[in-house]
Structure 1
């Protein structure tokens, strides 16, 4: 299992692994809800087959619907975020001009060099996104293939009894799936909660005050995607939305920061109850693991760290080592 998980990280197969788990759990969940369907005969599993078909076909229907209404936005998503990063770089460079004179005068002289460093980093990331279109589509393809594998595995035929190796692997895959259900499913609802409140703030509350932020659709999408990464994703969203608010006015930046702090105070309570209690992980543990994983595997390590660490703790707890 350790070798498999390391291979997944080294070969960039994390989206596939996550969607395998997602497809498996979704199919099992739907099959349980469709258990009232009559069975066709010995060995037949109509509920499972229908659930697997729904899981496999639903993404295709959603993509077709999305392409018919917002084709340019989906296909040009990397370009949208490239423009956003360029916009943030310009905002950082113009920080003194955006702030009130009294506050700008208090900035140390060395702040200009820090501004140039941050802007250069953002511009470099924007340049990398300029050629990310093919990688973006390849990632979606890997994710869909993983969904197919998970759905098919959930309704596989159960035949003869398995040997010791197969039994041990089945047990460990079940533990990994349990960790995924606890971590990712909980984080999905937390990210959805954050995204709903952020969209309400950006699309309804700010316009009431006569303020509209540029790149609002990209910011809402970023809030959901980054929200799937515990703690660090929230900090990233806070920084980006506040910087974009600063490009409009200092008042908009303060309003964004205050609202986001309010959201994440509520989110910390949810996180502590939903994730912490289920997985017995402290915030310090999660941050430490995410820090090391990001240093070794890059951004993918941030996503994988909570899942892999939760699985590791399950294995250690099963052996009564922790």
Structure 2
């Protein structure tokens, strides 16, 4: 007996939820989060470029999306060609650089008493040496895990670009109407996920860019004016940007790493790094509360809980995915009136 239209639509909605949830779990399990994020970036960028290119070129409606997709596909290639002579070591050899940075931080931890002023060093308890050894060993183990990740890093960059192409091509594809029930339900799920991505990840991108710009001014302008220069500056700036994409926890990572690297130069440099980072992160908290918290109605305790669970299950990728996935799930539940 065939299903009635209402029953068919309800069944299609349930199946669409199951399919999308399964796809997201598969993406996390296979480590394809970067590709998923780039699919969303490619899609939104193409949709943003298309109407503007239509105005500039007076192209037909069917042509402007394809022009937008071509532009999105070409921009990364042009950026790499222009920037590669200067950033080859940063992009292609990133795992090796961060392995050296972790080893450098481990050595700095073990030399903590020598780095601090004598009066402060004498105040450290004897048990602090065990804590120093534990932290240094942890950093050394993390450095060891990066020893053989060069090929995986390059594969990740390739997957990210393929994801960008998929998103651009999907945005350039002409819409088909009317849609069958399951296709319509899946379209609604994907549209809602894209809206969540635009609200959270795009806003967090600008927050991370703001944070990285101020940190670059501090590391490349202010500190050299005082006669100091931190090692691994470019790697630290890239880490600041990537960590800035993770709400709350990313700030803690940036504070710890930059302060510890500053301590290798001077205790006063470490103090200056800490004070500066706390100041700009206070501004970032304000932006987070206004932009992300207002749009998604997520409180800090909710976000931290989900990030803790996702990191425990999926590792560092879970920290990045947690705000996006949780906000999307909450949006779906709000749409059905459950929360």
TM-score interval (norm. to shorter): over 0.9
Q: Which of these residues, 30, 33, 38, is aligned with residue 58 of structure 2?
A: 38
Task: Work out the CA distance in 1 between the residues paired with 2:298 and 2:204.
Answer: 14
1:19 aligns with 2:43: no
Q: Note the alpha carbon deviations across 1:12-36, whole angstroms, 9 max, x for none.
A: 1101110001100000011122232
CA drift at 1:114:
1.0
Where in structure 2 are the equivalents of 1:46-195 lying within 5 Å? 46-195=63-212
Task: Work out the CA distance in 2 between the residues paired with 1:16 and 1:169.
Answer: 20
RMSD after superposition: 1.1
Task: Work out the CA distance in 1 between the residues paired with 2:307 and 2:276.
Answer: 26
Alignment-derived partner of residue 2 in structure 1: 21
Task: Work out the CA distance in 1 between the residues paired with 2:267 and 2:332.
Answer: 50
Conserved? CA contact 2:53–2:59, under 8 Å: no
Q: Secondary structure of 2:338's match?
A: coil
Q: Note the alpha carbon deviations across 1:225-245, whole angstroms, 9 max, x for none.
A: 110111111110100000011
Task: Work out the CA distance in 1 between the residues paired with 2:71 and 2:171.
Answer: 13
CA drift at 1:268:
0.5
Conserved? CA contact 1:38–1:46, under 8 Å: no
- Cα–Cα, structure 1 residues 211 and 296, in superposed 2: closer, same or farther, change >3 Å? same
CA drift at 1:63:
1.4
CA drift at 1:45:
1.4
Task: Work out the CA distance in 2 between the residues paired with 1:246 and 1:160.
Answer: 62
Q: Secondary structure of 1:131's match?
A: coil
1:307 aligns with 2:324: yes
Q: Secondary structure of 1:35's match?
A: helix
Q: Which runs of 5+ in 1 are unaligned?
A: none
Q: Secondary structure of 2:123's match?
A: coil
Tell me how many residue pairs correspond in the alignment.
319
1:229 aligns with 2:246: yes
Conserved? CA contact 2:62–2:174, under 8 Å: no
Query: Structure 1 length normalisation: TM-score?
Result: 0.97
CA drift at 1:60:
1.1
CA drift at 1:38:
3.1
1:197 aligns with 2:214: yes
Alignment-derived partner of residue 10 in structure 2: none
Conserved? CA contact 1:24–1:150, under 8 Å: yes
Deviating more after overlay: 122-131 vs 141-150? 122-131
Q: Note the alpha carbon deviations across 1:133-155, whole angstroms, 9 max, x for none.
A: 10110000010010000000001
Query: Structure 2 length normalisation: TM-score?
Result: 0.92
CA drift at 1:160:
4.2
Task: Work out the CA distance in 2 between the residues paired with 1:21 and 1:4.
Answer: 14
Deviating more after overlay: 226-235 vs 69-78? 69-78
Alignment-derived partner of residue 28 in structure 1: 47
CA drift at 1:255:
0.5
Where in structure 2 are the equivalents of 1:148-297 lying within 5 Å? 148-297=165-314
Alignment-derived partner of residue 6 in structure 2: none
CA drift at 1:157:
2.0
Conserved? CA contact 2:50–2:64, under 8 Å: yes
Conserved? CA contact 2:90–2:234, under 8 Å: no
Task: Work out the CA distance in 2 between the residues paired with 1:320 and 1:164.
Answer: 21
Task: Work out the CA distance in 2 between the residues paired with 1:140 and 1:107.
Answer: 44
